[in-house]
Structure 1
Amino acid sequence: MTTPDPLTPVLTKRWLGPESWTLRHYTELGGYDALRTALATPPDDLIALVKDSGLRGRGGAGFPTGMKWSFIPQAKPGEEPTGPAAKPKYLVINADEGEPGTCKDVPLMMADPHSLIEGCIITSWAIRAHFCAIYVRGEVVHVLRRLHAAVREAYDAGHLGKDIHGTGFDLDIVVHAGAGAYICGEETALLDSLEGRRGQPRLKPPFPATAGLYAAPTVVNNVETIATVPSIVAGGKDWFRTMGRERSPGPKIYSLSGHVERPGQYEAPLGTTLRQLLELAGGMKDGIPLKFWTPGGSSTPLLTDEHLDVPLDFEGATEAGSMLGTTALMIFNETVSVPWAVMKWTEFYEHESCGKCTPCREGCYWLAGILRRMVDGEGTEADIDTLLDVCDNVLGRSFCALGDGAVSPITSGIKYFRQEFVDLCTAQRTHPEVERIAELSGASA
């Protein structure tokens, strides 16, 4: 294996410090210095800085962050604001981490909540927002408590509230607990949930940039994305671009789980390969060879041991036929049945489908049922074609990306491991009990 390029930690540099979650520890290591720099910088210049840095959303889609901020309608200097520009602006942090295999935002908020809060304040200043909501998955009570404590510390230190550091800028942050629905990771479903309604995706357009929270202009960003902002303000765009690749610059937190010796969070430049990450993680557990893996959680197409050297950035993963997603790398060795793993993921999507649209509601139900039948030894080879046909009717036809994510492991699993699905059906035909029933039927005739 090749040795990964050394990286001075950026996002995780405070994680192992004593009481790293406290304001005292954060400020001792330069915390909130970037905030003072940002508050002395015109908002439009901040947006340009983030845009020029090349920072892309770390929540899955990889949309350019600075560009998203620039979509918020603002009044022109000297002109009376009208339309959406006249409405309040909001910042919403998507901390509803629910993608199977994804576990980077929870440790970030536990170990270093002030990096997120400082990023929220800088972002709010840039987009002229005076209210920010951090939407956290309700099951992670320990994270909620830690965020609440960190927000209180920030208020007490004058980083939040009225007239922040004498600039005349006001900002309030609210930490909101969701009810644990995977669909609320979709930004418009999250907004509906935040407003007190059932979490279901909205029809777009209009997009959140013009009609988001309370029908006002809203930026929705992932935790890791916003926690990266202070380091860009402190280090500058050129420094940020020294890490990663040209179109996907900067550091990234990769979540490794499954059959590795040391599962956990690994910060590395975008474009790092699985081969390099496995070396950091101590290799495959018990030395059993790699069979398949996901680059960005279960909603991204599977890859195999042939893809060990694929650069794990937004372009590299796409060129390999998958998606970078949330960089949740679930690693499976040769002992795992692909149809079984795909079935378990599909049952998750069947359960988590909000039911708003027919392709996803009905498609996930039928896909899970067919896969269960095949894994139980009651399927036929025709079921493989049926699976692909149902997937084709879900892909690109569901109301949001949940349907697309649900079919990804199925289609990629059949693409790379079709014989395993066929073998399930063959085993069913040669099962001793089936043969005995066939013999009895022949004797009766």
Structure 2
Amino acid sequence: MTFVPSMRTLIGVLSLVLCACAFSEEPDDTTSDPPSVDDTVVLDRVESEEATFRVVRTVKNLEHPWGVDWLPDGRTLITERPGKLRVVDEGTVTTLSGLLDIWVGGQGGLLDVAVPPDYEETGWIYFTYSTSGKGAKGTALARAKLNGASLTSVEELYRQFPFVDASIHFGARISFSDDGTVIVTLGERGQRQADSDIGAQDSTNTIGTTIRLNRDGSVPTDNPFVGRDDVPDEVYSYGHRNQQGMDIRPETGAIWQHEHGPHGGDELNLVQPAENYGWPAVTYGDEYTPPHLEIGGTEAPGMTQPVEYWDPSPAFSGMTFYTGNKLPNWKHHLFMGALAHQKVLRVTLDGKTVTHQEELLEGELGRIRDVATGPDGSLYLLTDASNGGLYRLEPVE
């Protein structure tokens, strides 16, 4: 494909502008009320192909919540992108103190939170956030312990490199593997080789990668690129754009992710060690701005195809393999939230093949930021709004 440099630069700039505008297009629903526990049935009966359920709002007035997880004692941890970590304990919502310095702006802020399987032995919780230095930003991973309403023993384990002067595409999802490692998605920060010296096809950095670490932040000796000079030891896979959903499939232990495409081309990927997922050389999306020029081809030697792709882009965010018992017909199905399309997508898989898809709750709750299986066996959703909420899906007869 032949590019005219001036046109390419203009398209790149306009794409970033449109990206930023799309992100800021949120309803004028600001509220000064603090988060509080709720128990409001917002949809009393929803009939779907495999389940009939109601939707209950359990926490309200959350400011752009981003991630949710649960402690073994049932307390709920929720991040809010503007930089607050909340603990929900029965009828109260408490704000934890002790967070590290967080850069808040654009798509950045306090992002995911995750409780590892060995929490009762170690007491650690993990969280991701955007941080800054010398005018540039990147994604970071930290861990801490809880002591009442405070975080203690807080330590930053990892920083994406290089930092770049952009406020988009941080990735930042966290998962824990049964082998004792922590998996983190790192977005490509809006960088593209055609317009920049760095990007997801530059293997010498961690732009647009999945990284795999031991839970103390050290690098596992069996990582696929350990010992190579041209790839950082922590990299597990590369060639990603902005992976905002990830989960470990319980039956296989495999890492699954979805990632945002540009104008079209959202992907579902089975993430394998050392594989290159193509961005921006391979994509099913095109430029945001008319005439929507191609960005790359749809396949190339040495680059892994997605399990599935979507055009137009739902803008997926958050995902879970449902492992609960409250909605048994959904067990082991994959659920993905969508920001732009404001829905939940239920996906069934046979190995690495998508066999069925069902859209749920389209337009009913707003932008779905995260999807999670709760300890009570219910499916939970976080909505991205200035008065966002945590919602529970529970069965009805």
Task: State the TM-score, normalized to the length of structure 1.
Answer: 0.25
| Greater C-alpha radius of gyration | 1
Task: State the TM-score, normalized to the length of structure 2.
Answer: 0.28
Higher strand share: 2
Higher helix share: 1
